[in-house]
Structure 1
């Protein structure tokens, strides 16, 4: 209960047990030789422990180059295995960057290793309690929007960049009129010269407040405040002062410390964008899997997490998207608090990809975000939103989209237009 367990996929030409022990030592109390002060008592208290090694298969050549291996020229083969290592939480304390450094860090650089991927983390409930919780999460996001029992249907400001604040506000006006639940900035539009946040936030929030007064519905707008930490705090304060409820940040470029600082500063919902995660995840024997990645950022207190989309424009398989969504919709640790976060599906989504999305999540507790799927609908954005709601209604009735399209014109137009692409 006082240890964090990391699960790795390892490749090495050396004995698996020796390399696994090397990994545990490197990331806790040991180094490549025993040193002065490294007593038996200290090792018993602070050393990481190899819990299990499950050999999988082997290959004839290394997956990744290692100068050490090239110099030593071991005979091979290059064995692959699942390795589980337990790290004492006392070594880490409440320190999210050090947790990340402990479970990954120099492991990727060990000379004997020709492939390594951190797959998952098991975090004890008592340790999870030392970190931030989501301030909104699933229930709070639904309460802010007044949306219950259905997915949260949203979109992204397009074009991504180039529009002035008044043009963005005019687009938000159209989207609010169309009945959208959620709008987000694109990850590359944060504080550009042509539409700085100091002008964009007041202009957009004036529109959202207008529609709230008119209809009683408050659209959630995720303003992209990605920046250095002090600037993010200022931007979050501006959003809050204008009556906003959500900010967005690019996790990989703000980092764990930046996200922790933002969470500590603001009660606004944090919409976590994972752009750049593919650099960590796409290679099967290098980097980090989603489960480990999202666990670290959930400790930072995020509320929503991008999981990409099924049948979309990115590289993820349906299985990978499903795994990510279900990870978000589960508590982070067994016996821990309800810290679930809302998975945000995006990338090439439209009414036709909703059935697979609902199957993946096994729940309506999700954000279903369509850029072109709404804004490029042949009958306009209002019909784009309507096509999503019509699709959901058909599925809830147990029908297929094709069957439902016969009496639902917005859905029929979406199937005809997007289904040919």
Structure 2
């Protein structure tokens, strides 16, 4: 039987969705809008995508997107909405991640037949998944590198985002290590600035990390933002490794699949995938890429951590989307290997968002990052970290936060301070 991968879509069209599905299948495989010279029946049987299903789910009186193609033909609504599943021959693509993305999405967003289209999910056969990169660290490796055997990894982000010198950044990291964090990361907009270049910042930070490890036996994981062009990222990763670091971070959307694949293959460091810019791809209900498909593609590039935002956070995503995204990260893509990646929760997180996070995920295989929830605690950063750990211990034991706060002073202060809207 021919090996195929599957993709599912939401579409909106004033035309027959069944016919549009056939257009989509042809456009992204062997054909175009009409049969062409050389497109034999044998070739089509071998390489054409197949429409697996078309399911209507409603109509709209107005189009989601403008469409000059339909306007020129005076085609108007109602606009039918449908879920479409297509299957593509693996042989059309091979182990080529950019081309896989171009096949599953590509020109589909520009089709004249649609007034909305969104790639929702991707499903790959085991053998095809294994042809791509695996995470080097994933869940188990990240736990081993940080020494956190159970429970969430508690992390924070270096703030101010930019402006600190290399030495000032190192001093701040030293303070955050002393506060009891497992994980510290750069902000996505601080990569290699002139006021704190990585050549100076990495040694300054790692000196504090090593000093803390010598004093306590705990080596904090720092995700250095090495976002850059490909060769520069490889050099930066080598510097981090030489200094004893364990993690690097890259802005996935702006580096691109090929750069992240090259970085992955050149280092064993944990690769923290930051999704900034994903909102441009995802916030419109009938345009772009849903997180399930998005995270499949980036996991094929070999990332170890993926951002999912946070519950009751400062960003626009609904909690249900955050929850589903976190579940996607810990759902294996392969039935034969552990290729799960660690979901990274952030944005407006503090001890009070822990119960909802645990209730939604049902596990603690995650990175729980808080900025203000740690740094703004009235008793200082150490108490901020303690309040989050106390909250996680409580919910994992089936206890409510108010009850736990009676014997957990840091948690009690956090609930009183942040819970009042301060």
- So what's the TM-score if we normalise by structure 1? 0.98
1:197–1:235 CA contact under 8 A, matched in 2? yes
Tell me the residue number matched to 2:409: 409
What is the distance in 1 between the residues matched to 2:62 and 2:313? 34
Q: Secondary structure at the match of 1:171?
A: helix
2:155–2:370 CA contact under 8 A, matched in 1? yes
C-alpha deviation, 1:396, in angstroms = 2.8
Tell me the residue number matched to 1:369: 369
What is the distance in 2 between the residues matched to 1:396 and 1:102? 43
Map Cα deviations across residues 42-63 of structure 1 (whole Å, 9 max, x no partner). 0000000011000111112211
What is the distance in 1 between the residues matched to 2:320 and 2:177? 34
Tell me the residue number matched to 1:280: 281
Q: CA 1:418 to 1:107, structure 2 compared with 1: closer, same or farther past 3 Å?
A: same
Q: Secondary structure at the match of 1:148?
A: coil
User: Is the counterpart of residue 157 in structure 1 residue 158 in structure 2?
Assistant: yes
What is the distance in 2 between the residues matched to 1:44 and 1:385? 59
What is the distance in 1 between the residues matched to 2:237 and 2:102? 28
What is the distance in 2 between the residues matched to 1:51 and 1:314? 36
Tell me the residue number matched to 1:342: 342
What is the distance in 2 between the residues matched to 1:397 and 1:8? 40
Q: Secondary structure at the match of 2:101?
A: helix
1:321–1:360 CA contact under 8 A, matched in 2? no
1:325–1:360 CA contact under 8 A, matched in 2? no
Q: Secondary structure at the match of 1:163?
A: coil
Q: Secondary structure at the match of 1:407?
A: coil
2:11–2:114 CA contact under 8 A, matched in 1? yes
C-alpha deviation, 1:330, in angstroms = 1.0
1:343–1:366 CA contact under 8 A, matched in 2? yes
C-alpha deviation, 1:419, in angstroms = 1.0
Q: 5 Å matches for 1:176-215?
A: 176-215=177-216
What is the distance in 2 between the residues matched to 1:385 and 1:62? 48
Q: 5 Å matches for 1:289-304?
A: 289-304=290-305
Tell me the residue number matched to 1:353: 353
C-alpha deviation, 1:75, in angstroms = 4.2
What is the distance in 2 between the residues matched to 1:219 and 1:55? 51
2:70–2:76 CA contact under 8 A, matched in 1? no
Alignment root-mean-square deviation, CA: 0.9
Gaps of 5+ in 1: none
Q: Secondary structure at the match of 2:117?
A: strand
Between 404-413 and 185-194, the greater mean CA deviation after superposition: 404-413
Q: Secondary structure at the match of 2:51?
A: strand
What is the distance in 2 between the residues matched to 1:107 and 1:417? 49
C-alpha deviation, 1:389, in angstroms = 1.1
Map Cα deviations across residues 358-392 of structure 1 (whole Å, 9 max, x no partner). 12221110000001111111111110111111112
C-alpha deviation, 1:408, in angstroms = 1.3
- Across the two proteins, how many residue pairs are aligned to each other? 420
What is the distance in 2 between the residues matched to 1:218 and 1:27? 48
What is the distance in 1 between the residues matched to 2:300 and 2:195? 35
Q: Secondary structure at the match of 1:116?
A: strand
Tell me the residue number matched to 1:100: 101
Q: Secondary structure at the match of 1:5?
A: strand
Q: 5 Å matches for 1:46-61?
A: 46-61=47-62
C-alpha deviation, 1:76, in angstroms = 2.7
Q: Secondary structure at the match of 2:406?
A: helix
C-alpha deviation, 1:176, in angstroms = 1.0
Q: Secondary structure at the match of 1:280?
A: helix
